[in-house]
Amino acid sequence: MAATRYRRFLKLCEEWPVEETKRQRDLGVFLRQRVAQAFREGENTQIADPETCDQMYESLVRIHTNYYKNKYPRLKDTSFTGATVEDCKMILSTDILKQMEDMKKGPWKKLREKFYAKKPEEDSK
């Protein structure tokens, strides 16, 4: 039975898209890592709690197939701010978030990073 569960999770991982704009924060990448951890021995892995495993799989399938989005359709594809899905994806991309972090830095911190040769971690040594 563990072999069947393993194959189902592998199939789900193959179908789950990876968003390149969310490097190191993507749900698809996280899912692949967790499946690799949970099934270290592949089809021979012993599952301690099969019911919980099946519940997790079913929940992930509902997310992947947009079950609730289809069950409860929205009137408009915008948020309360008026931002579209594309706008939200762009705003949440890793590059834009990095730019926003850089904008939050004060002028002294920017100058310090620019002219300071050593990294701050090296100071504590």
Of 71, 61, 4, 9, nearest in space to 35 by CA: 9
pLDDT of 122 reads: 54
Question: Mind listing the pLDDT tens digit for each residue in 98-115?
Answer: 777 777 777 777 677 777
Place of tokens 């996280």: 30
b (16+ CB within 10 A) / e for 59-85:
ebeeeeeeeeeeeeeeeeeeeeeeeee
> Which of residues 34 and 22 earns the better pLDDT score?
34
Quick one: pLDDT at residue 70? Answer: 93
- Confidence band (pLDDT; 50, 70, 90) for 57? very high
